[in-house]
Structure 1
Amino acid sequence: MTPVTASTEPTESLGADGLLDLPALERYLSAELDGGLAGPLTARLIAGGRSNPTYEVSDGTTHWILRRPPYGEVLQSAHDMSREARVMSALAGSAVPVPDVVLECDDPSVLGAGFYLMVKLEGRTYRTHDDTATLTVDERRQLTERMVETLVELHSNDPAQVGLADWGRAEGYLERQVARWARQWHRIKTSERPEVDELAERLTRSMPPLRFPGIVHGDFKIDNLMVAVDDPSRILGVLDWEMSTLGDTLADLGVLISFWDEIGQLHNPITAGATAHEGFPTGAEVIALYADRRGISVDDLEWYVAFADFKIAVILEQIHHRHLQGTTVGDWFDDIGGMVGPLLTRARDRADRAEL
């Protein structure tokens, strides 16, 4: 999901693969960008993205990042590029660092779907156990503290003050989320897993009341942050806003903890041990740090973490479904299907421990 590593070498056109029509994009950008283009476009598909295809595009002088929806059938209202561009534009200049959006296009005749272009950040994303092994113990602690502070800053924003009063409806957010992902499972499932309906029923029955409404990122985790190469504690940009809306902000903390791997414990199959190193605090310590920075109590967070495991499992099944249909882009999808079962099992285990 995040622009860091190329999975293909730059090429004059990806159109031969039916992916990115560079001649069409070049015509469009030449007309829409102030000053046009400095030269012919090249592009490369960015590795790491398991959902929205993401490309680095360059005219030989300037480098941008282009984001578009997945190829093939997707959940209605998901992967809306105009929403992703809007929330980043709204937060520009706030305490939440985001890339600058250059332009957005809602005309599907250009690339087959809406897309937007943003400034390429010159930084690094840490997404694997090996990546974070390069950090010192102090750097891991400092990065964690800055991550939590950034999440608190996001949740402290008044949506109306940044032009997002109509961004969504916080009331009923959790109910809609559980129902939405349960429905989506039955639309795209590739195997029978009765635990999905069981979990949806338990989550619905034990749902906590809305206490802290605000802007929700929806996928806040370590590999959706771009940090400075020379200072891992300096966050250059929060990325991947495709699931952002107004809702229950504790859902973001639940997602962060779902992805927060610890030494000696089962790792989330996506992050696969990224934070399982000395220096990274435990998940419980991250929760306590968030609560302290925000000045709130989060005693009922286990529900949110179980829900995060459930939601992420459905999203991975959705990507696996598209992969089987041949509509994913890139070469990092073969293991997606195997990630679903462990997440559902962990969600059920969390629900058991919390007596949900």
Structure 2
Amino acid sequence: MSPDHPPGLDLDRLRGLLDRELPGLAQGPLTARLIEGGRSNLTYAVSDGTSRWVVRRPPLGHVLATAHDMRREHRVISALHPTAVPVPRPLLLCEDEEVLGAPFYVMEFVEGTPYRTAEQLAPLGEERTRNAVLSLVDTLVELHAVDPAEVGLAGFGRPEGFLDRQLRRWSKQLDASRSRDLPGIDELHAALGRTLPGSPAPAVVHGDYRLDNVLIGADDRITAVLDWEMSTLGDPLTDLGLLAMYSRPPVLPDSPVSTTALAPGHPSPAELIERYAARSGRDVSAVSWYTAFACFKLAVILEGIHYRYTLGRTVGRGFDRIGDLVPAFIDHGLTALREG
């Protein structure tokens, strides 16, 4: 299939839908390219030669609709677009699978750069890197300040028992992909269960909040927060714990997991936590638990990828090193709990 017709995107059918639902939006013939970097749902940049848009759909051959719920993603960005949280303007949700073979939505194209490695950040220099990462914290504060009921997201999740449910969910995921001895992971899971903190008032939670899931503009500020597939209503400090985890240098120098924390000028986890606390007014005294939980969750995700790799079910580079990361995240989680 040609680059202008990437897999999973029938441009003729898409054009027909746009002309029916949003007449006059597209002027010339459509072209498209798959935007690399997404780990789950597929994202395409579509152009008519003058304007650009983004189409987002589930992966090809997906099975679990709940894991790739386009309606849910469209709903959260539609709710957040009028707020101070920068998200692309949603244009169209299509749940008719006859068009592209799966539900999808169309949103505006936002200029900006996703930074995934320290090498990509390095040309910015220390001051600009620092400003970009601090902007990440400030935007998280804005997200958690949104009143879910005021923006129509009152029923977006089940905040009661959120942490306990999350811990059980990721424990089940671990059991489903456990194929080798992982020293310390059962100890980490048990310790998290024993020290479960009381959650603050629920907020809109992104679920995978880190530098490579946002776009940074020319002024080093965030132009859009992307990849809302794990968003829900829940404990906002889970986002902070994840951000803190990703903001310490990776455990392997050539880590296939985000290496942005190695960039000169990148603030420390402690500085990011302090800024979040000062700007949000939230009690972050239990943040070590949330960091440890983020480590447990990532260890489980990486072990699942490693398990699929051992079965020959992964395609691409770097999967052979994923398994080496798992013990390091287990150790990081246990250390975070001890130090907390």
Opposite residue 244 of structure 1, the aligned amino acid is S
Of residues 4, 10, 34, the one that matches 1:12 is 4
Is the 2:252–2:325 contact (alpha carbons within 8 Å) kept by the matching residues of 1? no
Q: Which runs of structure 2 are paired with 1:245-260 in the superposition (5 Å)?
A: 245-260=232-247
1:310 paired with 2:278, answer no
Task: Give the structure 2 partner of residue 6 of structure 1.
Answer: none
Q: Scaled by the length of structure 2, what TM-score is found?
A: 0.88
AA aligned opposite 1:302: S
Match in the other structure for 2:335: 349
Q: Which runs of 5+ in 2 are unaligned?
A: none
Contact residue 123 and residue 228 of structure 1 kept, 8 A: yes
- Cα distance in 1 for partners of 2:101, 2:309 equals 19
CA shift in 2, pair 1:352/1:235, >3 Å = same
CA distance in 2, matches of 1:73, 1:187: 18
Describe the shift of the 1:266–1:336 C-alpha distance in structure 2 as closer, same or farther (beyond 3 A). Answer: closer
Larger % of helix: which? 2
Of 264, 275, 287, the match for 1:289 = 275
- Per-residue deviation, residues 212-254 of structure 1 (Å, max 9, x unmatched): 421111111111111213x11x211111111111101000000
Tell me if the contact between 1:258 and 1:308 (Cα under 8 Å) persists in the aligned partners: yes
1:59-70 alignment to 2 at 5 Å?
59-70=48-59
- Contact 1:132-1:275 at 8 Å conserved across structures: no
**Could you list the per-position Cα deviations for residues 290-318 of structure 1 after superposition, in whole angstroms to 9, with x for gaps in the alignment?**
11111233111111011111212333444
Specify which of 18, 38, 42 is matched with residue 49 of structure 1. 38
2:180 and 2:188 mapped to 1: Cα distance?
A: 16
1:182 to 171, 176, 180: 171
Task: Confirm or deny that 1:168 pairs with 2:154.
Answer: no
Q: After TM superposition, give the deviation of residue 85 of structure 1 in Å.
A: 1.1
Residue type matched to 1:292 in 2?
A: A
Displacement of 1:191 after TM fit? 4.8
- The secondary structure found in structure 2 opposite 1:135 is helix
The alpha-carbon deviation at position 75 of structure 1 amounts to 5.5
Using the size of structure 1 for normalisation, the TM-score is 0.84
Partners of 1:219 and 1:268 lie apart in 2 by: 22
**Root-mean-square deviation over aligned CA pairs:** 2.9
- How far apart are the structure 2 equivalents of 1:188 and 1:20? 32
Q: How far did 1:64 drift?
A: 1.5
Residues 97, 36 of structure 1: alpha-carbon distance in 2 compared, 3 angstrom cutoff? closer
- TM-superposed deviation, 1:284: 0.8
Deviation (angstroms), 1:342: 3.1
1:239-280 per-residue CA deviation (whole Å, 9 max, x = no partner) reads: 111111110100000010111134x97679455431323322
Match of residue 210, structure 2, among 221, 229, 232? 221
Gaps of 5+ in 1: 1-8
**Among candidates 109, 120, 134, match of residue 109 of structure 2:** 120
How many residues of Structure 1 are paired with residues of Structure 2 in the alignment?
Answer: 340
Partners of 1:314 and 1:242 lie apart in 2 by 18
1:127-138 alignment to 2 at 5 Å? 127-138=116-127
State how far apart, in whole Å, the 2-side matches of 1:301 and 1:61 are. 47
